[in-house]
């Protein structure tokens, strides 16, 4: 039995309607219907895996087994490997050997004619240690950043600030995923509470507490919380009539 058939039969066995399942999982009813018909192409694969897991948990199936079956049906494409072209072997002309020998002799003569260089200046152990510490200090990597991904489900206006600095204002694109990064926190002002599906550091964001328009949300490594007061950076947002 295929995965989509198992999902549908488990839902019907529990007596759960698609409308109630949509309310409990926060997944649109059209997406649930597509999954039950075997169509998993309505969103990028990482998002569909989250939907499969949420669906399986809600109808009492083992989510790990459901994801394993999904991965078998839709395996990730391996990266293509490009083989380097074979190197051409050429015979080494004898005249090049003579030229290299002459250059080596000239270089040796110049080396012997150079004046001795002054003795090197030795740094103190503490200075050498400081220099080594600066060189070994790791650069910020993507793994240390807070990453928020968004995929629009309907036309939604959004303003985003990274670590307190506003850097994105406008409508979410409907045809692609958008990512934002920050060191400590991301703050969002959304025109519609449930217009965008968010994933924070690989985990789906629960938007069920978002019950007002517009909604203000602060994302950190510890939590995603609704903020009732305006953010300080909202004062810099363009007003109606401004360009």
Q: Is there a contact between 226 and 213 (Cβ–Cβ < 8 Å)?
A: no
CA–CA dist 231, 189 (Å, integer) = 9
Q: Residue 97: pLDDT band by 50, 70, 90 thresholds?
A: low
CA–CA dist 168, 194 (Å, integer) = 19
Q: Is there a contact between 32 and 40 (Cβ–Cβ < 8 Å)?
A: no
pLDDT at 33 over 70: yes
pLDDT at 73 over 80: yes
What are the Cα distances from residue 144, in Å, to 46, 72, 123, 182, 237? Answer: 21, 32, 34, 9, 29
Q: Which helix (H) or strand (E) element contains residue 151?
A: strand 146-152
Nearest C-alpha neighbor of 203 from the set 68, 60, 47: 47
Backbone angles phi, psi at 65, to 5 degrees: -65, -40
Q: Determine how many CB atoms are found less than 10 A away from the CB of residue 51.
A: 23
Structure-token pair, residue 84: 């380097």
Backbone angles phi, psi at 158, to 5 degrees: -145, 145
pLDDT score recorded for residue 120: 57
User: Among all chains, which residue has been given the structure tokens 């192409």?
Assistant: 41
pLDDT score recorded for residue 119: 57
> What would the pLDDT profile of 127-178 be if each residue is shown by its tens digit?
444 444 444 445 445 568 899 998 888 888 899 999 999 988 889 898 788 8
pLDDT score recorded for residue 144: 81
């Amino acid at each position: 039995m295929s995965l989509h058939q198992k999902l549908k039969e488990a839902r019907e066995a529990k007596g759960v309607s698609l409308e109630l399942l949509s309310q409990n999982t926060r997944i649109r009813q059209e997406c649930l219907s597509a999954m039950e018909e075997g169509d998993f192409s309505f969103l990028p694969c990482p998002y569909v895996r989250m939907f499969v897991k949420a669906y399986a948990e809600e109808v009492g199936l083992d989510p790990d087994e459901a994801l394993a079956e999904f991965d078998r049906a839709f395996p990730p494409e391996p990266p293509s490997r490009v083989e380097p072209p074979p190197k051409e072997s050429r015979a080494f002309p004898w005249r090049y050997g003579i030229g290299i020998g002459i250059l080596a002799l000239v270089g040796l003569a110049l080396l012997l004619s150079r004046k001795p260089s002054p003795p090197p200046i030795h740094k103190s152990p503490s200075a050498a240690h400081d220099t080594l510490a600066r060189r070994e200090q790791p650069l910020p990597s993507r793994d240390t950043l807070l990453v928020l991904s968004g995929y629009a489900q309907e036309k939604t206006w959004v303003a985003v600030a990274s670590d307190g600095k506003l850097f994105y204002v406008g409508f979410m694109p409907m045809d692609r995923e958008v990512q934002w990064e920050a060191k400590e926190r991301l703050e969002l002002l959304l025109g519609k509470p449930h217009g965008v599906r968010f994933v924070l550091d690989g985990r789906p964001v629960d938007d069920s507490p978002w019950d007002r328009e517009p909604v203000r949300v602060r994302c950190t490594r510890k939590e995603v919380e609704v903020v009732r007061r305006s953010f300080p950076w909202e004062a810099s947002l363009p007003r109606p009539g401004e360009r």
